[in-house]
Structure 1
Amino acid sequence: MLNYCKDYNELKLDLDLNLRKLKSMGYHIFIKSNPIYQNLSNDKIVIKSKKDVKNRLVISIGLHGIEGYVGHASLISFFDNILATLSDETEVVIYHGINPFGMKHFRRTNENNVDLNRNFSTNKFTSENIEYKKIEYFFTPRKYTTKKTANLGFYGTLTKLIAKYGVTALKEATLLGQKSLPNGVYYSGETYQESTRYMLSEIPKILLYIEKVVWIDLHTGYGPRYQMSIINSKYEKASTKEVIEKINYPIVLGLNAEDFYDVDGDMLENIYFIKNKLKSKCDLYATCFEFGTLGDSTRKMIESLKATVFENSTHHINQSPKFKEYSNILYKEQFLPSSEKWRVKAEKDFIQAITGIINYKQI
């Protein structure tokens, strides 16, 4: 079962404790902390291969801040159940707490309200989100008086928007990333953030002078509640059907409009972009593990949007203690499900998926 740390400080201590444990078992580990904002930093952890390195397994955690708590718990499960099974020629690189501000303050966004998985632009931030601009007022932070009036206002406005623009337009508005409302949800920013610049400097180091690279980016929120999804890049050459068969895992999606949602500034897409730019010869498989939390029905997706909108308003505008507590509960449950049943199944899915990929890529 995945066990969460209660806060950022406990998480950092738990990471240190587990790395010390691995060192005592004979693993050669190198750790480098990288300052990001004020006294917050992310960590790069390298677990050296036992023989000359030919393969590299990368695990990235906390790009979406709060989601890093499930990511960290999954990492500990990896240490306990998977690490010892890797090839002697495989090096492990972990990017832990990419967005330390979001992890510390239980937010998806960073210190500038930027969604970092919309910030890895490959077109100099020239993309426009036309649908978002149409309904920008819906995402503008506001003061709420009570839980009841907040819910009535949210659902009432949402119903009118769907009637006027349709569900597809709403999905595009909320998920494509936007740069017109800096204090709104899914803000991409207009320049690379500190965490983004750091990761962009690291990606070439991962891709050069190596035969195989498997990169797994851990997230929570999207998909069926009791089934983690594997989200492949649109640049992945193998078909989703082929990957499902090769890794023996039930849900593998492609990052495109039909299977998932189109995202501008996605980190995994940028990894492939950089690989092509470098003309790297490595065999790259970069993917996302997405732990579904609330569910994937339209009703559950609306509940997810509500939690996101309420949390964003609570962050930017002072709310009553009762509403703030209500908003925090909704938001944490969206990314850190409290259900023991969920945490048991999440670990089972994680182990099945990563084991299948390791065997598939023979690393």
Structure 2
Amino acid sequence: MLPEFAVTDPFSSTYREGRSRFCAAAHAAGGTIESFVMPDRAGPVGEELAIDAVRFGAADAQRLLLTSCGLHGLEAAGGSAAMVNWLMQGGASRLPDGVAVVLVHPLNPFGWAYASRGNEDGIDLNRNALDWSAPIPTNLAYETLHPIVIANEPDTAGLAAFSGAFAALARQHGMEWALGAVASGQYAFPDGLSFGGAEQAWSTQVAKEIAEKHKPNRGRTLILDWHTGIGPWAEPFFILDAARDSADHRLVSSWWPDRSIHCDDVVEGASIAYRGVLADRLRREIEEHEGGKALSLTVEWGTYDIDRMVEALLMDNWLRHRAGGAPERQDWIREQLIERFIPSDPRWRDAVIEGSEAIFEDAILAVSSWH
């Protein structure tokens, strides 16, 4: 049984609150929720963990906005607030003819419930959407970094040592190499950063099922995935899965002419060859099997500078794999981790609410006019 919440504030501090607010707002908007319950797992107070999906718009709509949050667990609060606010503001009642919107909330319920970016198996789900029948990619750069990861704790001295080692590697090999080591995905060290797993995860399979069920037949699909942690403070940062000189990039740039549409140059202009990105996999499967057209767009909400965000990855990894000492210390580190991805500053939260509402409306208008 879900706890009852009056939906007045879109932001939630826990998965349990977030699910309740989302479901209440979706029901109030007239939606029918389909819940994919995680098998053999429960939240911190025994609550059910599930991915909830709700569709608004005609069943035969040929234009679809498929939007999701929480792929990286604790980041969900930002995208969840965006979805809840859109529902609260009556967005579902203002859809143009021929347009449908599917909200997926959240893709990683375990991660949000336990304040981690990883899933129930410690996997970075945005590195898990590989073709698992093909050879698994290697990340030789991360092999150099892994001993540094496991040697340091997320206290003042440990974070300084880790940041210093990361900076030294960046000076030696370049920022592109260093960020690729940290963030592009690796499949050899289950206790390491950006571990993509050894097989398809439950959340990945559910996301593919939802996309398969709702995709239009030879229509147009915009996949919009909400994240936090990249970009300037309280600003939306757009990342498109397309080459900078492509027609797709020109199209999306025309939808948001006042925004820079980034490709893989997401941090300090460095290009990162990401592996196993979920939205990219969904886009390709939609296009391959239906003959329609799909684009995948990530919208990040900027929080803190690159050094603090790299430190946050170490915090998350330590809490998951090496946490020890007093519970109070673990709680303090977890609070710092959450703050770096979901700042408590009301100005940041107001910016997310106001900005995401505009992005929702722009995305729906773009999909409706996409030919």
- What range describes the TM-score normalised by the shorter chain of this pair? 0.7 to 0.9
Choose the corresponding residue for 1:60, options 48, 51, 68: 68
Alpha-carbon contact 2:65-2:367 (below 8 Å) kept: no
Question: Paired residue for 1:13?
Answer: 20
Q: Please state whether the residue corresponding to 1:113 is helix, strand or coil.
A: coil
Decide whether aligned partners of structure 1 residues 272 and 49 sit closer, same or farther in structure 2, where only a CA change above 3 A counts.
closer
Aligned to 2:352: 346
Look up the match of 1:109.
Answer: 118
Which amino acid is 1:265 matched to? G
How far off is 1:177 after superposition? 0.3
Relative to structure 1, the CA distance from residue 273 to residue 320 in structure 2 (aligned partners, 3 Å threshold; closer, same or farther) is same
1: distance between equivalents of 2:351 and 2:315?
28
> Which residue of the other structure, out of 324, 331, 335, is the alignment partner of 2:330?
324
- Measured in 2, the distance between the counterparts of 1:103 and 1:60 equals 14
Instruction: Indicate conservation of the 8 Å contact 2:152/2:161, yes or no.
Output: no
In structure 1, the partner of 2:319 is 314
Letter in 1 for 2:230: Y
Q: Report deviation, 1:110.
A: 0.5
Deviation at residue 268 of structure 1 after TM alignment = 1.6
User: For 2:243 and 2:131, how far apart are their aligned partners in 1?
Assistant: 14
Q: Please say if residues 303 and 343 of structure 2, whose CA atoms lie closer than 8 Å, have aligned partners that are also in contact.
A: yes
Number of matched pairs? 351
Shift in CA distance, 246/111, structure 1 to aligned 2, threshold 3 Å:
closer
Output the CA distance in 2 between the equivalents of 1:256 and 1:281: 29
Residue in structure 1 matched with residue 282 of structure 2 by the alignment = 271
| Aligned residue type for 1:128 | T
Q: Distance in 2 between matches of 1:306 and 1:259?
A: 18
The AA in structure 2 aligned to 1:291 is: W
Structure 1: which amino acid aligns with 2:109? P
User: Which one is further off, 127-136 or 191-200?
Assistant: 191-200
Equivalent residue for 1:297? none
Alignment partners' CA distance in 2, 1:235 and 1:34: 37
Partner of 2:145: 135
2:128 and 2:200 in contact (8 A); partners too: yes
Q: For the Cα contact (< 8 Å) 1:35–1:42, is it kept in 2? A: yes
Residues 1:245 and 2:254 aligned together: yes
Show CA shifts across 1:62-113 (max 9, x none). 1111111111100011113332221133222222121111010011100111
CA distance in 2, matches of 1:321, 1:6: 20
In structure 2, C-alpha distance between the alignment counterparts of 1:194 and 1:154, rounded to whole Å: 32
Distance 1:37 1:255 in 2: 37
Matches within 5 A, 1:1-363: 3-23=10-30, 28-39=31-42, 40-50=48-58, 52-81=60-89, 82-122=91-131, 124=134, 126-140=136-150, 147-209=155-217, 211-234=219-242, 237-255=246-264, 261-278=272-289, 280-294=290-304, 300-317=305-322, 318-321=324-327, 323-362=329-368
Query: CA contact under 8 A between 1:2 and 1:344: conserved in structure 2?
Result: no
Q: Is the 8 A contact 1:307 1:327 kept in 2?
A: no
| Closer/same/farther in 2, CA of residues 38 and 20 from structure 1, 3 Å limit | same
Unmatched tracts of structure 2, length 5 or more: 1-7, 43-47
- Give, in whole Å, the separation in 1 of the partners of 2:97 and 2:312: 44
Indicate the SS of the match to 2:187: coil
TM-score scaled by structure 2?
0.85
What displacement does 1:156 show?
4.2
TM-score, L = length of structure 1: 0.87
Separation (CA, whole Å) in 1 of partners of 2:226 and 2:357: 13
Q: In the alignment, residue 267 of structure 1 is paired with which amino acid?
A: L
- CA deviation vs aligned residue, 1:210-259 (integer Å, no higher than 9, x gap): 52222211111111113101211127953535423333441321246867
CA distance in 2, matches of 1:268, 1:158: 28
Structure 1 counterpart of 2:96, which letter?
A: S
Give the CA RMSD over aligned residues.
2.6
Gaps of 5+ in 1: 295-299
Give the whole-Å Cα distance in 2 for the aligned partners of 1:173 and 1:129: 7
Percent identity reads: 20
CA distance in 2, matches of 1:183, 1:96: 27
Determine if contact 2:21/2:84 at 8 Å carries over to the other structure.
no
CA contact (8 A) 2:26 2:33 kept: no
CA distance in 1, matches of 2:187, 2:349: 35
Secondary structure at the aligned position of 2:228 is classed as strand
For residues 107-158 of structure 1, the C-alpha deviation after alignment (integer angstroms, 9 at most, x for no partner) is 11001110000000136352111100112101226556xx333244334433
